[in-house]
Chains A and B, each alone.
Chain A
Amino acid sequence: MDKSASPITSDDIRSLVRPDHVHRRAYADAAVFQLEQERIFSRLWIYVAHESQLRKPGDFVRTRLAAYEILVTRHTDGNIYVLQNRCPHRGARICMVDHGNAKVFSCPYHAWSFRPDGSLDSVPHRKSYPEAFSLDDPQNHMQRVGRVAVYRGFVFATLNENPAPLVLHLGPMVKVIDNLVDRAPDGEIEIADSSFTLEYQGNWKLHLENAADIFHPSFVHNSSVAPARRAPANASLLDQDQTREMLLANGFGTAEWEGIQLNGFSGGHAYMNNIYSKGVLASQDADPVVARYRAALTARLGPERTAQVLAMNRFNNIIYPNLVLNAQYQQMRVTVPLSVDRTLVHIHCFRLKGAPDEMFHRAVRFLSTLGSPMSMIFSDDVEMLERCQQGLTRDVGPWIDFSRGIGTDRRSQDGSISGAASEMPMRIQFEAWVSYLTAEAV
């Protein structure tokens, strides 16, 4: 494995990507990963938290931004700050939990305490510090990193001092965030307390590609599709057949490969038309839960707008470089790269405020069925991501193929459209990847 990072040039990067092939180093070279951390995960807007986790002053979320461990905080001034989780005194990691509320962050080593905006509140035995030592000196504060922008409750941060406006980066993908929030009868969504974090031994891009890969399910998920097909309908007393329907939906054939449309955008974003169309996943009015939900939504939006909101049915909305949203099931995945061959995936769901409780129960089951470490679906995906990494780590057959569908993709106004059998989304992702990695200055 290429563990020793040597400097890498823009020409190197360009030489790794052909229109229909990518060099294995894109996945297995630590120097490439280092550059990705600098030019993608430091420069682009990265999702770091949801505002429902940061309601009150002192609320915080611990996560990662590029190479930093960060705290995303709500200060008493109402603003959101991103702080390095490190004590400026002697460098100790301060916060050891993933979320919570703290009036001050107190370093356990020598008890410097910091306000949620990072400023130094107090140090014990002040008089032993030199005259010039000042609580107001930013050098003595938890370091603020980067900038913060919020789009309808989704908090993004970047280390880029001069970033493009967030909405510009999100581009056409704002519509999926809009749609998720618009689906709440009270106009507000709330991230669920429970979530999953999975770690896989593979490059972060593999997960993103898999989320746009609609060719694999018939093969990779056969071991759950086949038994689900043989199982009787409505046999479970727990879930109105939701689990079985979700397993069944991966049983693709030619009709789906030719029927599902993929949409890719410059910047690396992509989505596909929905793949779940049966049972409780189809959101039919005959379903009493859906009927109650639709009534609640109609009370706020009126029938026409409600119909519009519920008609948007896109699956795996990928916001480059690391966010996947499914508005109609209130689901979200966040990919966090740890190293060239290690990645975390955080898997969350949302509550639509004002919707019947059963809607949330279904979102929770969706999360468990697809995102649990024991998921009958995702565990097989993860297995393939790891096997890809194992194959790519070996220095033989350096080029991998992304040519499927290349002659049939159509150009759209802001990107490309293709059939489900096409690898267009991966080609779009790598086009964006090259342009981000070769942008020398911001």
Chain B
Amino acid sequence: MIREEEALGKAYDARLMRRLLGYARPQFWWILLALGLTVIVTASTIAQPYLVKIAIDNDINTVSLPMVTYPIGQAPAGVPAVPFDGRLFVRVKALPTPPASTTPVYTILAQGGQTAMIQGPMPHQAFTIKNGGHAVQIGTRLLPAVPVPVAVMSRFRQQDVRGLELIGILFLGALLLAFLANYLQAYILQWVAQSAIFSIRKDVITKIEGMPAAFFDKNPTGRLVTRATNDVEALEEMYSSVMVNMIRDGLLLVGVVVIMFQMNTYLAFVSIAVLPVVFIAANIYRNKARMAYRNVRLALARINAFLAENISGMRVVQTFQRQSAQEEKFRSANGAYRDAGIREIRLFAIFRPFMDFLYTGMVAVLVWFGGGSILDSALTFGVVYAFIQYIQLLFQPINDVTQNYSILQSAMAASERLFVLLDHPAELTDPPAPRALPAAEGRVAFDHVSFAYTADNWVLRDVSFEIEPGQTVAFVGATGAGKTSIMSLLARFYDAQQGRILVDGVDIRDVKQAELRRRIAVVHQEVFIFAGTIRQNIALNQPLSDQEIVRAAQLVGADRFITRLPHGYDEPVQERGSTFSTGQRQLLSLARAVAADPAILVLDEATSNIDTESEQQIQMALENLAGTRTMIVVAHRLSTIQGADRIFVMAQGQIRESGSHQELLAQGGLYYDLYRLQYKEDFKLT
């Protein structure tokens, strides 16, 4: 049985993953392209804070950088030089080779809108600009200074503005690149994902359709539909986001750590010290989330099962006046779902804010240690700023992990169920080298057939019989005697454990199921009507003319009610034919069988909900049909069957008596008793 909704799946299973990726293999080159685009996006993401760092350190925060002087016209070529005070000023940083340590340096100090130039480096202590910029007081010392007017200041900063513009253009380029790469990547991945789930869905539906009847006995339809629809759908995000996101997050993590160490080893160590805490927290969360997620799903599955049943059975609930009792039962299922949901919320409410706390805490740590290093002149401010940005990037993959994790988890759970289904042995297969059935005659033989649905529960015991072409035979017997089982074996819905079944002299296991079933049409006890029109229900994809359809309907007497419908043969049919009476549905499925024109027609209590008079009419029609074809009829009403060439009387899985109506009556056995029961009145009369 395939019932794993309750199983606690692993979040990651290499074996499942390999198979899932197998479905994406035809798109291998596209995935590679998407990966390439991911690298571009990640590089752009990592480059952005670094560009800001450069802007801050090289352009924005540069007013007090030390400068050296050159006489007018003698500054090195290609280096920004600003004329002031009869000399050319050039930043030390801008020089290709550092000047001799004895070369005097000059520094511009800015304070409260005043700017003044002093000789010597930036002072470490607090300073005050005095006398309109002609002096600077540092501690108790008073240094001479030259005031720098605003117009000259902007000449000094010209190079910085240009630098900022350049950074802006680079930044814009990075953004544009990321935008294009992002869009293309999302589109390609969606295409990959849709292609993969299209082929999985195809495999799943093909597999289910190919399963034998026993499989459908054990697995309720609703569950199988979920496999082909929602379970397959649960894989979509796995292909379209998780697959590449995990790689992107890995790249991002590595990239950020590398760039951190490149900028400053000390702060990098301080920053990554938080990672173990993060990983431990994420791990604890993962384990708990798994349980919580499972409970939510389980509770939801119960709600669905309850609703499905109670909506279909609402009429029974109402006629038995049990509404409040069912509401009470629903309340407990619904409450379990609510509680499971609340537990999940609580878990998430701790984890996500805790990550946010760690991030803010890290900023505090950087402020303390990074700020300290700036004061020691061991670091520039741009580096600390970049670190704060990178810490944020460092947390992004970790926050993504929780989301990826739940996607992965549902994908794994779904794929586990899907693969269990796909790996389900096909139990009942076509032979590797099928034989062709000889020309249709309609000969049927059971040769010492024994059969059990479940181990050792023998439903048929050593059944043997032969039906000649063109004969009409009837099976009678109590409910549960095994009549339907014989018909199911004949159409090879199940394989018998012992014995052989021959159709036109060939063992049915040696031919293709499709070929066998084209020869046999079974009208089942339980009717099935497709949504569509009456016409479609009779023709079932066969290219039949209107005439042929009407003839089949007339033959079984369905024409009478069909022509009275507002749209006649084109009358739309609801799901399951719910607006037709049971008998009318049976008439439709009879017409369908007749329209299929088989060599062997099997009617398994196909007329049980049809009134006797209509049944007689059908009977007569079918007798006309017979002669050229073999007919096997299962019925309770003896009037239906007494015209048969041969009657098999079944009891407890065995054929107890057989013969024509008269022969059986003459035997005075089971059939005679059955007959007498049904016609007791008649015996009294005569």
Q: Do A and B interact?
A: no
Measuring CB to CB, which residues of chain B are less than 8 angstroms from any residue of chain A?
none
Measuring CB to CB, which residues of chain A are less than 8 angstroms from any residue of chain B?
none
